């Protein structure tokens, strides 16, 4: 399970569900890595069995694409050519900005 202190603005705004956790992890990792299903499961903080239930949606809708094979593992990346993925990346960014703004305005003010 993810550390609640490290929950992203996206998860706070849209709910800490397994599907949203996968979106969150894929979006945050999009520029850095291609990921195996094990990496996605561990990085999202969800079980392998849960990922196996929801990941076919990401594949069928072409939200993720295979990037390469490493041994027996298939590696995946977000399909940045998909308009829906581009939209989700924008929403994720806006949710993060909104959360950062809320955090700044709700932070206790230090007295001098």
Residue 5, pLDDT score:
45
Of 3.40.640.10, 3.30.750.24, 1.10.10.10, 3.30.1490.20, which CATH number belongs to 10-99? 1.10.10.10
Q: Is the dihedral of CA 46, 47, 48, 52 positive or negative?
A: negative
Residue 97, pLDDT score:
86
Residue 111, pLDDT score:
56
Question: Which segments in the chain show pLDDT lower than 50?
Answer: 1-5
Give the tens place of pLDDT for each residue, 64-81. Answer: 999 999 999 999 999 999
Longest dimension (CA), the chain: 60
Could you please report the per-residue DSSP string of 26-92?
HHHHTTT--B-HHHHHHHHT--HHHHHHHHHHHHHTTSEEEEEEETTEEEEEE-TTSHHHHHHHHHH
């Amino acid at each position: 399970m993810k550390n609640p202190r490290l929950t992203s603005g996206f998860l706070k705004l849209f709910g800490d569900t397994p599907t949203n956790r996968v979106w969150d992890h894929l979006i945050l990792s999009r520029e850095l890595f291609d990921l195996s299903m094990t990496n996605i499961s561990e990085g999202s903080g969800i079980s392998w069995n849960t990922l196996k239930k929801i990941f076919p949606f990401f594949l069928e809708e072409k939200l993720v694409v295979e990037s390469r094979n490493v041994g027996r593992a298939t590696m995946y990346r977000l399909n940045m050519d998909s308009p829906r993925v581009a939209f989700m990346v924008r929403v994720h960014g806006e949710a993060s900005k909104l959360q950062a703004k809320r955090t700044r305005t709700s932070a206790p003010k230090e007295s001098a």
